[in-house]
Structure 1
Amino acid sequence: MQALSVKSGRDVAFASVVALLLAGCAGPSVAPTQLGQSRETRVGEVLVGPEGMTLYTYDEDTPGTSNCTGLCAAAWPPLHASSEAEGFDGFTPITRPDGSRQWAYDGEPLYLYVGDSKPADVRGDGVDGVWHVARP
């Protein structure tokens, strides 16, 4: 049996960290009763998800299609919808590239941001010029 080289050991460790991050992306599904709320923040009124956390949109998405996958989705977790979820009041479930479901508002997929630690945080607004708070 051949021993792992330092480089391959680092590769395994890196792959393990990435796998753990991606596993964290598959959060619980958000029920429709947890949607439709908004909150006043330092940047104005924003849509919020579970526990009052700010929701975001991504300029690289197209209506009804999420383009934030892999490491992007680790930093910007999609707002997951169950397979039975049905649309209401501008909120619609969409299917992500991996087959999971995500909530969208007026066609724009919705995300949380790992940099926000409490309700009313809007640290993700303007990141890389492509992330924006979701507005009601």
Structure 2
Amino acid sequence: MKTLTFLALLAGVLAATPALAAAPHERDGMLVDDQGMTLYIFGGKGMPDAKSCEGDCARNFPPALAAPGDKPSGALTLLPAPNGEHQWAFQGKPLYRGLMDKKPGDRSGDGLNEVWHSVRVR
């Protein structure tokens, strides 16, 4: 009984501890997040807006946030995000996730409104 109680307690602690995401990395010539999902840059003027995102930008193209303790490396840098966290950037351009992508390798946002682009690293 003590073993079951301990295991249940341990499972609760592990479930409450957020997993740290890995930094963006290259896969098949594309920059992806820790889940293998395509990352995007915004190529429009100024900041992304409802027209360029086809609706709510924060929902459709959320920033690719860094985990606490993540460190910049090479062309991958960190920028301050509006919420006090840090957002990944590639060659100085902020990185975003595309919620229209359903599985690793999808690039549904590539070319959207001629301002969203997946990041090729080769």
* TM-score normalised by length of structure 2: 0.69
* Residue of structure 2 equivalent to 1:82: 67
Correspondences of 1:115-126 after superposition (within 5 Å): 115-126=100-111
Alignment check: 8 A CA contact 1:95 1:102 kept = yes
* Deviations 1:48-77, CA, capped at 9 Å, x for gaps: 112211111001377xxxx34892121001
CA RMSD of aligned residues (A): 2.3
Work out the CA distance in 2 between the residues paired with 1:61 and 1:37.
26
Q: Which of residues 33, 39, 60 is equivalent to 2:44?
A: 60
Give the ranges of 4+ consecutive aligned residues of structure 1 lying more than 6 Å apart after TM superposition: none
Amino acid across the alignment from 1:130? V
**Residues 94-119 of structure 1, C-alpha deviations (whole Å, 9 max, x = no match):** 11223221101111111111110011
Identity percentage of aligned residues: 35
Q: Which runs of 5+ in 1 are unaligned?
A: 1-27, 40-44
Counterpart mapping for 1:3-18 below 5 A:
none
Match of 2:27 in 1: 38
In 1, are the aligned partners of 2:22 and 2:33 still within 8 Å (CA)? no
Residue 133 of structure 1 corresponds to which residue in structure 2? 118
User: How many residues align structurally?
Assistant: 98
Secondary structure of the structure 1 residue equivalent to 2:96: coil
Deviation of 1:83 (Å): 4.0
TM-score when scaled to structure 1? 0.62
Return 5+ residue gaps in structure 2 as ranges: 1-18, 51-55
Structure 1: how far apart are the matches of 2:84 and 2:33?
Answer: 22
Query: Are the counterparts in 2 of residues 54 and 120 from structure 1 also a CA contact under 8 Å?
Result: yes
Using the alignment, how far apart are the partners of 1:108 and 1:61 within structure 2? Answer: 12
Secondary structure in structure 1 of the residue aligned to 2:113:
helix
Aligned to 2:94: 109
Query: Are the counterparts in 2 of residues 96 and 102 from structure 1 also a CA contact under 8 Å?
Result: yes
Cα distance between partner residues in 2 of 1:97 and 1:116: 24
The answer (yes or no) to whether the contact 1:29–1:80 under 8 Å persists in 2 is: no
Q: CA deviation at 1:36?
A: 2.0
